[in-house]
Amino acid sequence: CQDDSGIPTTLPDKLRVANQIIESLVGEGIELNNIYIDPLVQPISTDFKSALITLDTIEEIMNRHPGVHTICGISNVSFGLPSRRQINRNFTVLALQKGLDAAIIDPCDRELMANIITTNMLLGKDEYCANYLLAYRSGKV
């Protein structure tokens, strides 16, 4: 969600840019399920509301544009802070709850990966807990 004026910092501006991008792509014949919107996560260390704005942006995009996907760079939220992995893990869980369906993450962070598997199960995205049980049996959770 960035236009010629830069990275928007408010929910209305992020949604305005997202809507423009989606409308433009649909106008070019791109199907909604092939569109990924990145709300551009900003560091919470520079604006204490930035994480909430990103989470609200994800939720609104998913509600307003069924079929469109959201993606974001998770670690941007923790830039400049100690215990970044802890922040990233918690932000990922919150973003998944809001509808995030793709993320740029550290796949070597075993706790983060376990959180993702567990969260998807709790959100009803893992029928019969099959992925969770498979991960448990293989020592991933």
pLDDT tens-digit map of 61-120: 999 999 999 999 999 999 999 999 999 999 999 999 999 999 999 999 999 999 999 999
- Quote the tokens at residue 95: 């973003």
Instruction: Check whether residue 101 and residue 114 sit in a common domain.
Output: no
Instruction: Check whether residue 46 and residue 92 sit in a common domain.
Output: yes
- Domain range for 42 is 11-106
Q: Which of these, 50, 67, 59, 52, lies nearest to 15 by C-alpha position? A: 59
CB neighbour burial string for 62-86, b if at least 16 within 10 angstroms, e if fewer: beebeebbbebebbbbbeeeeeeee
132 and 141 Cβ atoms separated by less than 8 Å: yes
pLDDT at position 50: 98
pLDDT at position 9: 95
- Quote the tokens at residue 123: 């959100």
CATH number at residue 48: 3.20.20.20
Residue 2 counted as domain residue:
no
